[in-house]
């Protein structure tokens, strides 16, 4: 493998793989073989919301359509979560006006020597350049989940914040702006309650960029030295195999729980 660049989702999944929380064959299929994995309802809803809000198509390039309930009956109508997603998209447009956000580009692909990423929104807010990442979340007030958006505990949540660091670095590397000349903001909409929205600016310490660059460059070297066809280790489990698109052909799959050893005392 030569010159595989590291995206923030690649980084998260690779860390999961190294922690044996993600099967290596699944990881390879997703990031090297470009196998399209089935989407979940929250992902479909998020894609639909973002499309209606900004006109940006999801990665697969297919226009998201709302789900219809009671098809073929008198009660046929857009399903309630999609009605809410439409209302959230309208609210996004109102927020955009209120903050004087002028969108320059949506779905903007950026890359540098060892990393890449796709910015939801590259914009100017009241004349200042900014990256805005839209989230459509069922965990907007959650403090404990690693993908929960409780603001007080957010600074502990590396899994969410790594995106801000990666994207600010990509903008600097592509456009030559200094970190203090533009912002990164998450705009988080609740998928359960239209009027629960958070607009969060992430302020990043200079050291965090250095740490991230070291991490990315080490993974970039590891990955590009690997034999991608042979070196990934399968980590089967009854749960992950049951949801895996490779299940029907995989020789490592498991249909029963595997015994895990716990050592105590001594």
The H or E element that residue 107 is part of is strand 101-111
Closer by beta carbon to ligand SF4, 26 or else 115: 26
Q: Is 27 in the site for ligand SF4 (CB under 6 A)?
A: no
Q: Is 216 in the site for ligand SF4 (CB under 6 A)?
A: no
Q: Is 30 in the site for ligand SF4 (CB under 6 A)?
A: no
Mask of contacts with ligand SF4, 175-214, x by CB under 6 A?
A: ----------------------------------------
Q: How far is the CB of 34 from ligand SF4 (least distance, A)?
A: 15
Closer by beta carbon to ligand SF4, 197 or else 250: 250
Stretch that binds ligand SF4, among 109-117, 124-132, 202-210, 250-258 (CB under 6 A): 250-258
Q: How far is the CB of 242 from ligand SF4 (least distance, A)?
A: 8
- Residue partners of 214: CB distance under 8 A and separation at least 6: none
Own/partner contacts of 160-164, CB < 8 Å, gap of 24 or more, are 160/186, 161/202, 161/204, 162/8, 162/11, 162/12, 162/212, 163/8, 163/117, 163/133, 164/133, 164/202, 164/204
Q: Are strands 183-190 and 128-137 parallel, antiparallel or unpaired?
A: parallel
Q: Is 247 in the site for ligand SF4 (CB under 6 A)?
A: yes
118 contacts 106 by C-beta, under 8 angstroms? no
Closer by beta carbon to ligand SF4, 23 or else 169: 23
Tokens of 129: 């350049």
Q: How far is the CB of 234 from ligand SF4 (least distance, A)?
A: 4
Tell which one of 56, 76, 252, 255 touches ligand SF4 (CB under 6 A): 252
Burial 124-141, CB ≥16 within 10 A → b, else e: ebeeeebbbbbbbbebbe
Tell which one of 163, 194, 234, 262 touches ligand SF4 (CB under 6 A): 234
Own/partner contacts of 36-43, CB < 8 Å, gap of 24 or more, are 36/60, 37/245, 38/245, 41/81, 42/136, 42/138, 42/191
Question: Binding residues for ligand SF4, per CB under 6 A?
Answer: 23, 25-26, 234, 236, 240-241, 244, 246-247, 250, 252-253
């Amino acid at each position: 493998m030569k010159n595989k660049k590291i995206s923030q989702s690649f980084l998260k999944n690779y860390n999961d793989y190294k922690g044996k929380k993600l099967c290596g064959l699944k990881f390879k299929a997703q990031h090297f073989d470009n196998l399209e994995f089935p989407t979940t309802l929250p992902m479909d809803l998020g894609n639909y919301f973002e499309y209606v809000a900004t006109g940006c198509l999801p990665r697969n390039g297919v226009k998201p359509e709302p789900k219809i309930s009671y098809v073929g009956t008198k009660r046929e109508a857009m399903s309630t979560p999609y009605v809410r997603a439409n209302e959230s998209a309208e609210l996004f447009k109102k927020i955009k006006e209120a903050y004087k956000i002028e969108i320059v580009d949506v779905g903007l692909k950026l890359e540098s020597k060892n990393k890449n990423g796709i910015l939801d929104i590259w914009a100017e807010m009241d004349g200042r350049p900014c990256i805005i990442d839209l989230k459509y979340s069922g965990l907007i007030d959650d403090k404990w989940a690693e993908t929960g958006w409780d603001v007080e505990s957010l600074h502990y949540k590396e899994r969410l914040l790594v995106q801000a660091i990666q994207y600010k670095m990509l903008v600097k590397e592509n456009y030559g702006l200094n970190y203090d000349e533009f912002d990164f903001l998450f705009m988080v909409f609740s998928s359960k309650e239209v009027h629960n929205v958070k607009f969060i600016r992430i302020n990043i310490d200079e050291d965090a960029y250095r740490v991230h660059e070291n991490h990315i460059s080490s993974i970039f070297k590891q990955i590009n030295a690997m034999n991608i066809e042979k070196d990934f280790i399968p980590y089967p489990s009854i749960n992950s195999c049951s949801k895996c698109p490779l299940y029907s052909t995989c020789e490592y799959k498991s249909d029963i729980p595997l015994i895990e050893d716990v050592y105590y005392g001594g």
